[in-house]
Amino acid sequence: MESRWILPDEIPDIIRMEGISKTFHPSEEYYRREPALFDPARTLAIFDGGEMVGTTATNRRTMTVPGGTLATATISNVMVLPTHRRRGIMTRMMDHHLRDIHERGETLAALWSSDTRIYGRFGFGISTLMEDWSIGRHDTTFSDPPVPKGRIRFVQPGQAGPVFSSVYEQVWPFRSGMMARNTTAWEYCLADVEEDRHDATRFFHAVYEVDGRPEGYILYRGHDARRELHVKELLGVTDEATSALWSYCLSMELMARFRIRNRPVDDPLPWMLANPRGLDRRPRDGIWLRLVDVPLALAGRRYLTEGRLVLEVRDESCKWNAGRFELTGGPGGAECRTTTATPDLVVSAADLGAAYMGAVTLGTLHRAGRITARDPSVLHKADLMFSWNVQPWCPDEF
């Protein structure tokens, strides 16, 4: 089978292939939105006798890590036709992309996983967590109702991008896992395609303003038949703006139920409700992260406390990462270099990716039997170093 980067006019073929793989017929809106995900120079396709049977795509993004940002390759549209599964096509594509990402100098790779059994073997670990929420109208009372200082106003779809972006730019640098959004990323986020509606309305766009300054926004739909409101994204620069938006959202009296997707696990809303038990919380994994260049990744973030660790990294997919590394880091920065010293911890690439931004502690992974520690006391030091003041979260879907 032939593997190569695609030609620009082959992007519609990938979208048709996605429809076959996921059993849906893409709409015209879908065909207009999806090309934003595909850079032909970074979209790999596998052909069997001239037929496209597998694809993967990557794009360069900038992602926040504790105390900084790093170049990150986002991997999407990992597909193999049902007729060609279990032939090693995915392994071939992932190996190709990881080598290419490394050669391009991108430190991290991130993806959303449709099957949690697949990506650990390629060195990816669950690096952000999130919750999906559902709450009935009778449970939306606040224990201490917020008193907003600003006002909510609606924004026309064509005007939402710049307004929402002005809020997002003030928020994303301060939470690990969030990514910079350029104009293309905003167009993709706000695109209102038929496949996403599930019989609900088109998006409503609302902004919270204080003295004319946007300090928060909400993007949502309504489902009239079920009397439901579906929130896609809600973001505030301040706690006051976030509280005001939740109050606005949950006070819509004609709605019987509110469904909110992809919230950070440390979101304050459950603690704002008079009856937090009424909020149905469904945790799930967010982005899966891989350290493509281990020493650069470890040196590229900051650490909550000063410390030194020697890590032995096991990495079958990116063999250039396999070895021992001495990490010295703290709130002011970090250094990482190869060493021959006795390791404090022996960790796989996937588990290092999971612990990298603090979604799970190295101590928890040790108790799960996934990593080896020279001395249990070193785990306490490692957990303090790798923790951070906010939980990692990624609202971007790619």
Q: Selecting from 3.40.630.30, 3.40.50.10490, 1.10.260.40, 3.40.50.1370, what CATH number does the domain 131-284 have?
A: 3.40.630.30
H-type helices in the chain, by residue range?
Answer: 11-22, 28-33, 89-103, 157-171, 183-190, 194-197, 239-250, 269-272, 294-299, 349-355, 362-367, 376-386
Cα 366 to Cα 379: distance, rounded to the nearest angstrom: 8
Confidence band, pLDDT 50/70/90 cuts, at residue 252: very high
- How many CB atoms neighbour CB 134 within 10 A? 15
Give the strands of the sheet with 228-236, arranged side by side.
151-154, 204-210, 213-223, 228-236, 257-263, 129-136, 280-285
The whole-number average pLDDT for the span 31-46 is 96
Cα 148 to Cα 253: distance, rounded to the nearest angstrom: 19
2-106 has which CATH code?
3.40.630.30
Residue ranges per structural domain of the chain: 2-106, 131-284, 293-386
The three-class DSSP label of residue 202 is coil
210: left (phi over 0), alpha (psi -120 to 50) or beta: beta
What count of Cα atoms within 13 Å lies in the side-chain half-sphere of residue 162? Answer: 4
Q: What are 162-200's pLDDT values in tens digits? A: 999 999 999 999 999 999 999 999 999 999 999 999 999
Confidence band, pLDDT 50/70/90 cuts, at residue 14: very high
Residue 393 main-chain phi, psi, to 5 deg: -160, 145
Nearest by Cα to 110 from 326, 286, 252, 334: 286
- The pLDDT value given to residue 387: 96
**CA 53 from chain center: how many Å?**
27
pTM of the shown model? 0.94
> Residue 397 pLDDT > 90, yes or no?
no
Q: Give the catalytic positions in this structure.
A: 119, 398
CATH architecture of 293-386: 2-Layer Sandwich (3.30)
